[in-house]
Structure 1
Amino acid sequence: MDQPVSSTPLASVVPTDLSPIHLFLHASLVVQIVMVGLILCSIFVWAVIAEKVLLLRRVNREATVFEDRFWSGGSLDDLYDSEGARPTNPMAAVFGAAMGEWRRSSRIAGIDMSRGSTQERIDRAINITIARENDRLSRYMTLLATIGPVAPFVGLFGTVWGIMHAFSSIATMHNTNLSVVAPGISEALFATALGLLTAIPAYVAYNLLSRAIDNFDERLESFGTEFAAILSRQSEERIAGRN
């Protein structure tokens, strides 16, 4: 015998409070854990984005100031004593590494870079410094690259669990009323939304920040190559002057 259809209006049986807090509080424990994890990941993503944007702006600004001083025609020894010995930015660190190696080699080999060993040490010092500065700029980027593709699947896990919880409620209460199914479906969809809200900024930020870091890395490499050429030229000029 067919059950009588309830005449209760749909709006009176379906919860109307779909606020994030309500959905979180009424979700199952597993889905709550998923939500908390995604929220923490989202906070981390935005913290990394803010930190990297401010850091890249600062190092590019400081690099421009340093390059202006470098190309102003002043003494390289004075610039090394003022900024290169204790560098406060990546560009000054590259300059300090190369200049310091050149000074040490000049005391040992009499600034005879024609043998190639001194030039190789300077190039190696520049490359090591650039790699170290790149590692500092790229800190936490791997986590962004991981959160981007993983977060949607974590949200999907919350979605699947929420739907399972909804069907479990149907089986327990022997009732297919929408008021029984809706809470589980709502929390499931909310977990999916959190996964996307976490993944999209992480994915976009990783691509944009990676490109910005690569651009700055190329800027350091160009400066290092030019400075190594200057040191080589100065060495040749001094050797020619002695002859």
Structure 2
Amino acid sequence: MNIIDLFLQAGFLVKCVMLLLLIFSIISWAIIFQRTKILGKAKKQIEQFDNSFWVADDLNVLFDKAKFNKEEIRGTEHIFYSGFKEFSRLYQINPNMAEAALDGASRSMRLSMNRELDNLELHIPFLGTVGSISPYIGLFGTVWGIMNAFISLGEAKQATLKLVAPGIAEALIATAIGLFAAIPAILAYNRLSLSVSRIEQSYLNFIDEFSAILQRQAVAIRK
């Protein structure tokens, strides 16, 4: 007996369970590779923009550069662009309402941050779902297969282990495939979720730091 033969000999429902779990596993690995690449790129973008931001002598120059490439900017650069744009717009309308301009900039930056996080978290919850339900789907296939094996055993004139062993083995493969799909998915879900949380914290730190800079500039202009 081998896995392929056991799969081919399995009942229709057990085959459907195995195929569903294999599809889950393939999709999960595709998401794992894709999200790992995207999150790695997001971390690199944060580092690159931080290096440019903290050495910039004039934020207007940095803003003009972001504005020129506004369709391509991501991460903290996009958050910076949104906040600086909103602050400048509101401050020009009423220079005496600096606090309102700061509040508007903060809201704009948080909205941009949420959009960035939505893009980063895309498909990651699917990994958590696969990790949670795959063992149960595999167990369902196993129970169904073993039930059919024992039904066949009851109908046989002579009950032997050789008669029932293939049915039980092919049923147990469903549980094995369920675990094969679930374990990488749940590990990747935890790791990728942690990466997203760290990126989110980096965005929040930047929003707080940039808000403080805007507040100091508003006070300096009023003086």
Q: TM-score, normalised by structure 2?
A: 0.94
Could you tell me which residue of structure 1 aligns to residue 200 of structure 2?
217
Question: Which residue among 97, 103, 120 is the counterpart of 2:88?
Answer: 103
Question: Which residue among 190, 200, 216 is the counterpart of 1:207?
Answer: 190
Question: Which residue among 34, 45, 55 is the counterpart of 2:17?
Answer: 34
- Contact 1:84–1:93 (CA under 8 A) maintained in structure 2: no
Counterpart amino acid of residue 34 in structure 2? E
- Contact 2:56–2:62 (CA under 8 A) maintained in structure 1: no
Alignment of 1:74 onto 2:74: no
Alignment of 1:186 onto 2:134: no
Could you tell me which residue of structure 2 aligns to residue 94 of structure 1?
79
Could you tell me which residue of structure 2 aligns to residue 228 of structure 1?
211
Could you tell me which residue of structure 2 aligns to residue 159 of structure 1?
142
Structure of higher CA gyration radius = 1
Post-superposition Cα deviations, 1:90-119, rounded to whole Å, max 9, x if no partner, equal 111111110110121122113x344x2111
Could you tell me which residue of structure 2 aligns to residue 131 of structure 1?
114
Could you tell me which residue of structure 2 aligns to residue 4 of structure 1?
none
- Contact 1:84–1:92 (CA under 8 A) maintained in structure 2: no
Cα deviation for residue 73 of structure 1 reads: 2.3
- Contact 1:155–1:195 (CA under 8 A) maintained in structure 2: yes
The secondary structure found in structure 2 opposite 1:99 is helix
What do you get for the CA RMSD once the two structures are aligned? 1.4
Structure 1: 4+ residue segments shifted above 4 A: none
Provide structure 2 residue ranges, at least 5 long, that are not aligned to the other structure: none
Q: TM-score, normalised by structure 1?
A: 0.86
Could you tell me which residue of structure 1 aligns to residue 66 of structure 2?
83
Q: Supply the distance in 2 between the matched residues of 1:215 and 1:47 (Cα, whole angstroms).
A: 22
| % identity of equivalent residues | 36
Could you tell me which residue of structure 1 aligns to residue 6 of structure 2?
23
Higher helix share: 2
How many residues are matched? Answer: 221
Post-superposition Cα deviations, 1:5-49, rounded to whole Å, max 9, x if no partner, equal xxxxxxxxxxxx22x222211110000000000001011111111
